[in-house]
């Protein structure tokens, strides 16, 4: 399984803190997004906005690889400080 997390405005927009995805046929962040949208078609709009992504708590781009057991997080550009 792959653990998916959502934060801040994205979490509120999706109405979800996260989910678990079966890791079959998923090897990249892009494929994680595709699988999430297949499962929840109404999430498509939210994933079209400018989002950042982290795999195992490291910021990565969408072509980054994803393996079973990974933690994949999606969130809006950060605004701390």
Partner 1 sequence: MYNQEKLMVKISIQEADFNLSEEVNLLEKLNNEDGAVVTFSGRVRNVNLDKSVSGLFLEHYPGMTEKSLEKIIEQAKQQWTIGRVTIIHRIGQLLVGDQIVFVGVTSKHRKEAFAACEFIMDYLKVEAPFWKKELSDGEESWLDAKQSDKDKAKNWQS
Residues that bind partner 1 (CB under 8 A): 5, 7-9, 12, 54, 57-59, 73, 75-81
Q: What is the closest distance, in whole angstroms, from the C-beta atom of residue 77 to partner 1 in the complex?
A: 3
| CB nearer partner 1, residue 22 or residue 77 | 77
Of the pair 34, 76, the CB lying nearest partner 1 is at: 76
CB burial readout 1-30, b (16+ within 10 A) else e:
ebebbbbeebbeebeeebeebebeebebbe
Kindly tell me the sign of the dihedral angle through the C-alpha atoms of 72, 76, 77, 81: negative
Q: How far is the CB of 59 from partner 1 (least distance, A)?
A: 7
């Amino acid at each position: 399984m792959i653990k998916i997390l959502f934060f801040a405005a994205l979490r509120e927009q999706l109405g979800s803190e996260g989910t678990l995805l079966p890791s079959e046929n998923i090897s990249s962040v892009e494929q994680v997004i595709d699988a999430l949208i297949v499962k929840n078609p109404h999430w498509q709009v939210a994933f079209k906005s400018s989002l950042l992504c982290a795999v195992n708590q490291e910021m990565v781009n969408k072509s980054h690889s994803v393996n079973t057991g990974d933690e994949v997080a999606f969130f809006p550009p950060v605004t701390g400080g």
